[in-house]
Amino acid sequence: MATVITVRAPFAFMRRLVSARLHRHCCSKLQAACFVSRPHSYSLIAGQQHRFFRTSYVAARPVMQFKLSDIGEGIMEVTVKEWYVKEGDKVSQFDSICEVQSDKASVTITSRYDGIIRKLYYDVDSIALVGKPLVDIETDAGQGEGPQEDVVETPAISQEEHTHQEIKGHKTQATPSVRRLAIENNIKLSEVVGTGKDGRILKEDILNFIAGQTGAILPPAPFQEIRPPPPAAAAPSAPAAKPKEKMTPPSVPTPAIPKPVFTGKDHTEPIKGFQKAMVKTMSAALKIPHFGFKDEVDLSQLVQLRSELKGLAESRGVKLSYMPFFIKAASLGLLHFPILNSSLDENCTNITYKAAHNIGLAMDTNQGLLVPNVKNVQMLSVFELAVELNRLQTLGAAGQLGNADLTGGTFTLSNIGSIGGTYAKPVILPPEVAIGALGKIQVLPRFNHKGEVVKAHIMNVSWSADHRIIDGATMCRFSNLWRSYLENPASMVLDLK
Amino acid sequence: MILRLSNRACVLSGSARLKSTLSTFFDEMGKAGIVLKSASTGIFENLALEDWIHDRVDLQNRSMLLLWRNSPVVVIGRHQNPWQECNLPLMRRLGIPLARRRSGGGTVFHDFGNINMTFFTSKKKYDRHRNLKVVTRALKALRPDLDVAASDRFDILLNGHYKISGTAAKLGRTSAYHHCTLLCSVDRSILPSVLKSNTSEVIKSSATPSVPSPVKNLLDVDPTLDSNTIMDAIASQYSNEFGFDSPVIKVDPTHEGLMPGIHKMAQDLQTWEWIYGRTPKFSVCSSIVVEDVTIKLDMDIKNGAVEQCAMEIPENWLPSEMVNEFTSTLNGSKYCPNETAVLVAAFMRTVSMTADVAVKIHRLCAGVVSVM
C-alpha cells in the first residue's frame, strides 16, 4: 500500500511530486503469513521517472480533447461509421472508440487515455475532419480498486512503460495498473491469456494466472485472515475431566486459508429467437394433462434387416437409418388407432381426426430444437421416407428449414437415443395429442423362446399422450402394435400400403 | 511440418522453442520483407490469418505480403448491408457462404480463379498506390502487351475499361493492411447474379453501397495466364519494388500452436452477429401480394434484428388481433428466414386458428421471408 505525502497549496488545486514507498502491510500481531510485496516496485524499472498525482475530489478533473489524428495518404475527412462507446462510458488506453471509413479504408480509432467519455462530436454517418476533436475524455484518477484509488501513476516516459512488457513483437495490451501487478508478481504478460476486449489482459487474468501457479488464489490486497488462538479464558464451566483445555493455547498456529476471490459475474440476456419459440410452445403444452407409457422393443431382427438394406439404399444415394422404419411403423399403427393422430380444439368440445399422417421428427440443431415433419407418411414407402428424412436433415443442419416443413405436424417421434439415454418423458407439441421418445439401442442379454440366453438389441420407447381424450389402454395397444411391426419386420410387409 | 519454405529461405529448425509463435519466427528470420502463402482456401480461416498478423506481428520494421485464394464465397465490406449487396436466397440455394471482412470497401465474389493479396505495413508505410504498382508491373513483366493500370479509386482496369481488381484497407493503431483481389479465371456465370440483390429496391439504408463495374478475367485476354504463374510473378515483383530479399513461406492458418488465438478469431468471423448483425440500421418497406391481397410491410432492422414490424392488412382477410400477434412474434427476432419460420411455426402451434386462417398465416410468412 502506498503512503502518500501531499502538500496542497491553499486556494488552489496543485499537483506535486510525491514519493511513495511500499511498506509491508501487517494487519495483526502475527507476521508469519503476511503477503510479501516488493517494497519498491516502481524504482525497479531502471531509469524511469514517475510522477504520482493525487487528485482532489473537489476540483474538476482534466478533460482531454482527443483529436482525430492523421490517417495517412493526405486524407482530410472520414465518415464515422460506428461508435463503440457512448457518453459516460469508461475507457482504457488502447480501447477502440469508433470505426471511421474513408475511401474503402476502415480505420479503428483507439483511445489515447484512460478515462470517461464526456462528449462525442459526431453522429454515425457524419463526416469527421482530421485534426479536429473527435471525443472528449475526462481522465480520471479512479483506476483500479482499493488502496490504489487515489493514486494515478503516470510515468513521464509513457512509451517505454508500454513497451516494457512487449516481447519481440508480441504486443500485449494491459493498463498500467495491470502491468504493475504483473511486475510485482514476476509474471511475463506474454504468458498470460487475456480475456478482455481484443485479447487485453485484465486484473482477473493475472490473479487467475497466479492461482494456477501456486494452487491458491491470492487476494489482491495484502490481507490475510488469520484465526487467533482460542482464548485461554474460554468455557469456565468446562468439566473437570478436561483441565488442560483451559490452560494450554496451541503451540502451532492453525494454518491460514486465504479467502478465494471469485470474479465471475451473472449474465442476463433476453429470450429471443429459437428459445422464445420453445418457451411459447412448451408453455402451451402445460395445458395438456400428460400420461406416460414406457415399453421395451427387441430390435434384433430390424438391426439385421437394416444392415442388409443399407448398401442398397446407399447405391441409390440415400443414407438409411432406423428412423424410416420407426416412422412407417407408427403410421401403420395410427391407421388402427386414429385418435392418436387427432387434435382437440381449444374448448375441448371437438376432436378432429386428421387424415394425413404428418409425422414430426425432433431435430437437434446448433441453434436449438426444431421439429420438422414428413408429410403424408401413410403414402410413402420406407425408402421414400429415408429420402425425405435426408432432405430435412440437410436443411436443418444448414439452418434452412422453412415454415412449410415446420408446421402441419400431427404426431411426433423424438430419437433422443441417438445422443443417449434410455427412458424419457417427452412433452406433447400442441396441437398434437401424442409423442414418442426413443432411447438408445443397447445390446443386452435376453431369453429366447427356448429359454436360452441370447444377445438382443433392445431399445426403450417412452410415449406421452393427452389423457383428456386418450386412455392408457389405447396407448398400450398402439405401442404393442408398433412394437410387433418392429420386432418382426416381415409383418410390416403384409400391411404396407 | 506446418511451415514449408521455398528454396531461398532459411529452414525452420526442429530446435524451435515450444513457446515460439509465428511472430517470433519472423523476428528470428530478421528479414525486412516476407511473402506468405496461405495453405487454406477457407475464407474465415484466411480472414482470421489477416487479423492475426495485423494484431500480433510487429510491422514497424517489417512488411509482409500474403497471397491467398478461397473456395466460392461472397465477401462484403465492414459497413455494408448484405441484403442490399447480394442475392441471399440464390446464395443459399447454391451453397455459397457469406463473409464480412474487417476492412471497408465494397462486395466481391471469390472463387479459386481469384487471387487475394494483402500488403501488411506499419501505418507510416501505408501506400496503396505503390502496392498496386507491384501488381501491374508484375503482370506487365509476364505479358508486356497487357494494358493494365490502376485507377484513382484504387481499382485495376484492363484495357482501360474492365475492372480486374478491387481494393479495401484497414488501419489500426500502429499498423495497416491493404488487400485487393485479382480476377484471373473467376466463374463469370455466377458472379453477376450472386452480386445482384433481389431486395435492394425495398431497403433504405446508409450502409456503404458497392459500385458495380463491368469485369473481365485475365484468362479471357490470355489463356496461358494461370493463377500460380501470376502469384509467383507478384511475389518476385514485391521483392523488387521494395528492395526486399523475401522468402516465400507457406502458412497453415489452422495451426493454433503457432498462432495462439487464431481459432477464436476465425470463430468470431463466422457468428451471425458479425456477418449479419453488424449491418448498420436500415428499414424495409415492401408490398407483398398474398392470395390477391396486397399487404404493406414495414420493418426497421437494427443489429440484424427486427426492431419494429408493422403490417397493413385488410381487416376482412385477417383479423387485426391476429395480425398484431403475428407482428409481435417477429419483434426482436433476427432478420433471418430460418428464425422467422421457427417463430411462426411456434405461433401457429400456440394460437388457435381455423384451417384457412392457418393457410393464410403460412402464405403471409412466405411473403415476409421472401424479403429476407
DSSP A156-224: SSHHHHHHHT-BTTB-----HHHHHHHHHTT--GGGSPP-SGGGPPPHHHHHHHHHHHHSSPPPSSS--
Structural domain includes residue B180: yes
Residues A18-32 have a mean pLDDT of: 44
**pLDDT tops 60 at residue B9:** no
* Of residues B159, B306, B175, B268, the one with CA closest to residue B218: B159
Residue span of the structural domain in which B164 resides = 21-276
> Is the distance from CB of B80 to CB of B106 less than 8 angstroms?
yes
Tell me if A198 sits within 8 A of A2, measured CB to CB: no
Quote the CA–CA distance of A132 and A66 in Å, as a whole number.
Answer: 8
Q: How many CB atoms lie within 10 A of CB A23?
A: 12
B346 with B203, same domain: the answer is no
- Length of chain A, please? 497
User: Of B335, B312, B334, whose CA–CA distance to B324 is shortest?
Assistant: B312
- pLDDT above 50 for A401: yes
Give phi and psi for B197, each to the nearest 5.
-70, 150
Instruction: Tell me whether the omega of the peptide bond preceding residue A431 falls within 30 degrees of 0, making it cis.
Output: yes
- Domain C-terminal end among B218, B250, B276: B276
Kindly indicate the confidence band of residue A329, based on its pLDDT and cuts at 50, 70 and 90.
very high
Instruction: Determine the pLDDT at residue A212.
Output: 59
Per-residue DSSP letter, A377: G
Least confident range from A241-250, B76-85, B128-137, B306-315: namely: A241-250
Residue keyed to cell 488501419: B171
Residue B245 has pLDDT above 90, yes or no: no
Q: What number of C-beta contacts closer than 8 Å exist between A and B? A: 161
Residue of B nearest to A279 (CA): B346
Judged by average pLDDT, the poorest of A178-192, A310-324, B135-149 is: A178-192
Indicate the pLDDT class of residue A119, thresholds 50, 70 and 90.
confident
Reduce the DSSP state of residue A478 to 3 states and report it.
helix
* pLDDT confidence of residue A433: 95
- At residue A242, the pLDDT reads 45
CATH number for B321: 3.30.390.50
Q: What does the pLDDT read at residue B23?
A: 82
From A72, A85, A66, A71, select the one nearest A134 (Cα to Cα): A66
Q: What is the pLDDT of residue B292?
A: 85
For residue A407, the model assigns a pLDDT of 92
Which of A70, A363, A407 best probes binding to B when mutated, by most B CB atoms within 10 angstroms? A407
Q: Which residues contact B365 (CB under 8 A, 6 or more apart)?
A: A403, B340, B341, B344
Is there a contact between B369 and A402 if contact means CB atoms under 8 Å apart? yes
Mean model confidence pLDDT for chain B: 87
Kindly state whether B136 is in contact with chain A, defined as any CB-CB distance less than 8 angstroms: no
Task: Note whether residue B182 is domain-resident.
Answer: yes
| B285 burial via Cβ count (<10 Å: 0-12, 13-18, 19+) | middle
- The CA-CA-CA angle for residues A296, A299, A301, to 5°, reads 145
Question: Helices marked H in A316-368 — which ranges?
Answer: 323-336
Q: What is the mean pLDDT of chain A?
A: 76
Residue B12 lies in a domain: no
- Would you tell me which CATH number, out of the four given (3.30.470.20, 3.40.50.2300, 2.40.50.100, 3.30.1310.10), belongs to the domain A63-139? 2.40.50.100
Which of the residue ranges A25-39, A144-158, A276-290 has the most confident prediction, judged by mean pLDDT? Answer: A276-290
Q: Residue A140's pLDDT band (boundaries 50, 70, 90)?
A: low
pLDDT at A126: 87
Interface touch B171/A402, C-beta < 8 Å:
no
User: Min CA distance, B316 vs chain A (Å)?
Assistant: 23
The 10 Å Cβ neighbour count of residue A419 is 8
Q: Do the beta carbons of residue A9 and residue A197 sit within 8 Å?
A: no
- Regarding whether B268 and B349 lie in a shared domain, the answer is no
Interface with chain B: mutation pick from A82, A91, A106, highest number of B CBs within 10 Å:
A106
The boundaries of every CATH 3.30.559.10 domain in chain A are 289-494
| Residue B294 forms part of a structural domain | yes
Q: What is the pLDDT of residue B319?
A: 86
State whether B309 and B203 are in the same domain: no
DSSP output for B142-178: H-TT--EEE-TTS-EEETTTEEEE-EEEEE-SSEEEE
Distance of CA B244 to CAs A224, A460, B10, Å?
59, 70, 15
Residue for cell digits 494483402? Answer: B118
**Residue at which a domain ends, from B260, B276, B292:** B276
CB atoms < 10 A from the CB of A229, how many?
13
Phi, psi (rounded to 5 degrees) for B312 = -105, 110
Tell me what pLDDT residue A226 has.
Answer: 43
In a domain, B1, yes or no: no
Q: Where are the beta strands (DSSP E) in A212-350?
A: 290-298, 342-344
Between A291 and A260, the more confident residue is A291
Higher pLDDT, A106 or A465: A465
Of the listed ranges A465-474, B1-10, B141-150, the one predicted with least confidence: B1-10
**How far apart are the C-alpha atoms of B251 and B161, rounded to whole Å?**
35
Give residues with Cβ within 8 angstroms of B93, minimum separation 6: none
> Which residues in chain B have their CB less than 8 angstroms from residue A103's CB?
104, 153-154
Whether residues B127 and B162 share a domain: the answer is yes
A471 a catalytic residue: yes
Domain-embedded: residue B188: yes
CB-count burial class (<10 Å; 0-12, 13-18, 19+) for A204 = middle
Determine which of A7-11, A358-362, A384-388, A419-423 has the lowest per-residue pLDDT on average: A7-11
Tell whether B358 and B327 lie within a shared domain: yes
Higher pLDDT pick, B315 / B131: B131
At B194, list the grid cell.
450472386
pLDDT given at position A213: 56
Fold of the A289-494 domain: Chloramphenicol Acetyltransferase (3.30.559)
pLDDT at A231: 46
Could you tell me which residue, B159 or A228, shows the higher pLDDT? B159
Does residue B341 belong to the interface with chain A, where contact is any CB pair within 8 Å? Answer: yes
B217 within domain boundaries: yes
Is residue B205 located within the same domain as residue B294? Answer: no
Q: Which of A35-39, A436-440, A492-496, B276-280 has the highest mean pLDDT?
A: A436-440
Q: Count how many domains chain B has.
A: 2
Asked if the model's pLDDT at residue A193 lies above 70, the reply is no
Residue A164 annotated to the active site: no
- Higher-confidence residue: A215 or A75? A75
- Compute the average pLDDT of residues B70-89: 92
Judging contacts by C-beta atoms under 8 Å, the chain B residues touching residue A280 are 346-347, 349-350
CATH class label, A176-210? few secondary structures
Share of chain B above pLDDT 90, in %: 43
pTM of the model: 0.73
Between B85 and A147, the higher pLDDT residue: B85
Res. B2: pLDDT tops 50? no
Q: B126 contacts in A (CB within 8 Å)?
A: 72-73
At residue A306, the pLDDT reads 93
**Whether residue B312 sits in one domain with residue B163:** no
Tell whether B27 is within 8 A of chain A (Cβ): yes
Could you tell me if B178 and B210 lie in one domain? yes
Give the DSSP H or E segment for A437. strand A434-438
Query: Is B156 found in the same domain as B80?
Result: yes
Other C-beta atoms closer than 10 Å to the C-beta of B119 total 25
pLDDT of residue A141: 54
**pLDDT interval class at B313 (50, 70, 90):** confident
Calpha distance A275→A280 (Å, rounded): 9
Whether residues B241 and B333 fall in one domain: no
* 3 state SS of B6: coil
Average pLDDT over residues A351-358: 94
CB distance A106–B103 less than 8 Å?
Answer: yes
- Closest Cβ–Cβ partner in A71, A168, A277 for B342: A277
Where residue B290 falls among pLDDT bands split at 50, 70, 90? confident
- Helix or strand or coil: residue A284? helix
Q: Give span(s): CATH 2.40.50.100, chain A.
A: 63-139
Please, which pLDDT band fits residue A49 given cuts at 50, 70 and 90? Answer: very low
Convert the pLDDT of each residue in B328-368 to its tens digit.
888 889 999 999 999 999 999 988 888 888 889 999 999 89
The edge-to-edge listing of strands for the beta sheet with B162-165 is: B148-150, B156-158, B162-165
Distance CA A478, CA A493 (A): 18
Average pLDDT over residues A460-467: 96
In B253-292, the residues whose Cβ lies within 8 Å of chain A are: 261, 280
Q: What percent of chain A has pLDDT over 70?
A: 70
Among A401, A403, A405, which would you mutate to test the B interface (most chain B Cβ atoms within 10 Å of its Cβ)?
A: A403
Query: Residue A360: pLDDT above 90?
Result: yes
Average pLDDT on B82-107 reads: 92
Distance from CA of B232 to the nearest CA of A (A): 27
pLDDT of residue A363 exceeding 70: yes
Q: Assess if residue B9 is contained within a domain.
A: no
- How far apart (Å, rounded) are the C-alpha atoms in residues A45 and B289? 73
| Inter-CA distances, B362 with A407, A446, B340, B343, B353, Å | 9, 50, 11, 12, 12
Among the candidates B276, B310, B338, a domain finishes at B276
Burial B60-78 (b: 16+ CB within 10 A, else e): eebbbbbbbbbebbbbbbb
Q: Same structural domain for residues B302 and B174?
A: no
